[in-house]
Amino acid sequence: MTFSTLESMKKCVYSCLMTLTIEHLTEYHYPEQAFDSFNELHLQPADDYRQTLISFHLEVNPDTPMRSHLDYYGNTAHHFHLAHTHKLLSVHTLATVSTYMIPLPQPTHASVLPEMRHRFFEYLAPTVRVPLNQDWLEPLQVRPLLPDEEIVSHLDYLTKHLRQIFTYEPNSTHVDTPLAEFVGLRMGVCQDYAHAMLAICRQEGIPARYVSGYVHSNPTGDETMIGAEGSHAWIEVFLPGSGWVGYDPTNGCLINEAHVKVAVGRDYDDVPPLRGLRRGGGQDSLKVSVKVRRAGEAVLK
């Protein structure tokens, strides 16, 4: 073992636990009275092998009864109905989550991909936001995965490549910007990066799913993570021997303790933070505020 490797391991021990608080406020302002509003939320952080949900508080104004269920993909979804009139709808959440360091993915040979096609068909199939009716490798200048290549190294290359060829620019795209338009613009936000990497992975036969969540902007004091000003997005790929492994093409890295997962799906449409239908209200104005703070430091025992 080299000295540099030993020092890296020591650093990982100290940073293996990160406790984060996430505050998320969404406000819809209506010029006219709105009513009969049905809404579904994907805002509660997951509780799984790499993060522990310590607390979660959800408040809606106007106050209304709230229900929750596990959706098809295993995410916690909340939903509510506002029957009476209102000119403001606000959804405020406050969560505390501890995240953990996870092992690096095991080397995996591309020869295993054909045997996963049936098991992970829904994460290989095209969607409206991730169409597969064209070759995405050429416009994205991606080196193809070879039949005898190792997948993890290819994913590392792909994650860094997308970070380099695109420019992160808030408000340069909107929630319904097609993937082809983003590819042509060469700029967008984390949702666009995630859809681009999903398209490449699925085209190459690598099962991949969309992840919504949050990221801390400066987890160690010497690095800056992009996308912390709002909800963040990345992808997970399934690798035999490692399970679902997260890659963040917006930041060009594997996910780490700075990432907090909320929900997974085939693409953004499966897990938007908030969506709903209403009567009246006119043209709404939307205001979203997200704050991710470090709540504690890891303790070496």
What CATH number corresponds to the domain at position 175?
3.10.620.30
Q: Is 218 within 8 Å of 195 (Cβ atoms)?
A: no
Same domain membership, residue 184 and residue 73: no
- Residue 60 pairs in a beta bridge with 91
pLDDT of residue 16: 60
d(Cα 147, Cα 285) in Å, to the nearest integer?
A: 50
Kindly state whether residue 27 falls inside one of the protein's structural domains.
Answer: yes
Q: Which of 208, 237, 204, 209 minimizes the C-alpha distance to 137? A: 204
Residue 39 located in a structural domain: yes
Whether residues 116 and 245 share a domain: the answer is: yes
Structural domain that includes position 65: 3-100+273-296
Residues 30 and 123 in one domain: no
Residue 301 lies in a domain: no
Q: Give the Cβ contact number of residue 168 at 10 Å.
A: 16
Helix (H, G, I), strand (E, B) or coil at 110: helix
Q: Per the domain annotation, does 69 fall within a domain?
A: yes
**3-state SS assignment for residue 73:** coil
Q: What is the distance between the alpha carbons of residues 273 and 73, in angstroms, rounded to a whole number?
A: 15
H-type alpha helices, 131-272: 151-165, 179-185, 190-203
Sign of torsion over alpha carbons 169, 174, 180, 185: negative
pLDDT at position 11: 42
pLDDT by position in tens, the chain (length 301): 333 433 443 344 334 689 999 999 999 999 999 999 999 999 999 999 999 999 999 999 999 999 999 999 999 999 999 999 999 999 999 999 999 998 999 999 999 999 999 999 999 999 999 999 999 999 999 999 998 899 999 999 999 999 999 999 999 999 899 999 999 999 999 999 999 999 999 999 999 999 999 999 987 666 789 999 899 999 999 999 999 999 999 999 999 999 999 999 999 999 999 999 999 999 999 999 999 999 754 433 4
Same domain, 225 and 257: yes
Residue 211 lies in a domain: yes
| Same domain flag for 199 and 211 | yes
Structural tokens at position 16: 């293996």
Q: How many domains does the chain have?
A: 2
DSSP code of 150?
A: B
Q: Does residue 158 lie within any of the structural domains?
A: yes
The angle, 0 to 180 degrees and rounded to 10, between the axes of the packed helices 151-165 and 190-203 is: 140
C-alpha 64/C-alpha 191 separation (Å) is 30
Residue 194, sorted as left (phi over 0), alpha (psi -120 to 50) or beta, turns out to be alpha
| Assigned token pair, 57 | 């508080």
Q: Encoding tokens for residue 53?
A: 């949900």
* 31 C-beta neighbours (distance < 10 Å), count: 11
